[in-house]
Amino acid sequence: MTLVTTITAIAVTFGLTAILGYAIIPLLRRMKFGQSIREEGPQAHMKKAGTPTMGGLIFLVAILIATPILSYINGVLTTQTIVLLLVLVGFGIIGFIDDFIIVVMKRNLGLTSLQKLIGQIIIAIFAFFLLKLGPFDTVISIPFTGFEIDMGIFYVVFLIFWLVGFSNAVNLTDGLDGLVSGTSSIAFSAFGILAVSYNQQDIAMFSFVVSGAMLGFLLFNMKPARVFMGDTGSLALGGALAMISMLIKQEFLLLIIGIVYVIETLSVIIQVISFKTTGKRVFKMSPIHHHFELSGWSEWKVVLVFWGIAFLAAIVPVLMEVM
């Protein structure tokens, strides 16, 4: 995959996402698809109430249009591309239903955790068996060691855990303007570079397309956000990231490249365990980005610092693998 092809993939999807954003956001506003803000959240966020949500539709449509076309033109439209789109769209649909129930039907809980989990498991299993139609490898690699474990049919259990875990991790992270958009653009770009180095051009194309879509979405999602991606976008992005890491056989590199999502999830787990066992909270609020806000950091400072962490976490394994 040449540099020109990479830039083209990013630029095309950036432009398409921008065009769709200008078309869809007014529609979401007219349909009163406004975000509800948790009363127990930071009070500074209350002014965001009513900002259109379900904006993940914008970049999902852009990716769905750009990926098949660009992949076909460059001769890299494969089964793996279809699987990535399946996971992206499947998890996006689950998020869309959840958002729709909350925002449109005015039912605060949306889908139950069990309903989401069942949907995610069904998509993950379908993706696994679609991959098994081809020469899919069920080996898990340990980064930087060369050590591998062949899990055989049990790989499907790991696949379910990985997709569900990271889709929910990205969902937890989506709480500040531009936070997930920026970190996702970095993560998908990192995996795109890795895919190129492993000569997996189909995965590289998809990764750079998504990265371009995230940059385009940032035009509307940076503080002050004009639209939020909602579960529609965050669940889709997390599932796609996890699937990419599995397709390039560098599953555990996602723990490094997606370190922000890992930290956010751990902060919630630690907070819940601490409160249930001792009655005390470790953080002022979880996920941890709210802790820093309540500690006096501006929203922009939190986002920029987390972007910086995401960039450093991505560049180190990329350099080690590529070099």
Tens digit of pLDDT per residue, the chain (323 long)? 889 999 999 999 999 999 999 999 999 888 877 666 655 566 566 666 778 889 999 999 999 999 999 999 999 999 999 999 999 999 999 999 999 998 887 776 778 889 999 999 999 999 998 988 877 888 898 877 778 889 888 999 999 999 999 999 999 999 899 999 999 999 999 999 999 999 999 999 999 999 999 999 999 999 899 999 999 999 999 999 999 999 999 999 999 999 999 999 999 999 999 999 999 999 999 999 999 999 999 999 999 999 999 999 999 888 887 76
Q: Rounded to an integer, what distance in angstroms lies between the CA atom of residue 87 and that of residue 34? A: 26
Return the domain boundaries, the chain: 3-253
DSSP string of 203-256? HHHHHHHHHHHHHHHHHHHSSSPS---HHHHHHHHHHHHHHHHHHTT-GGGHHH
pTM over 0.85: yes
| Residues facing residue 34 across a β-bridge | 52
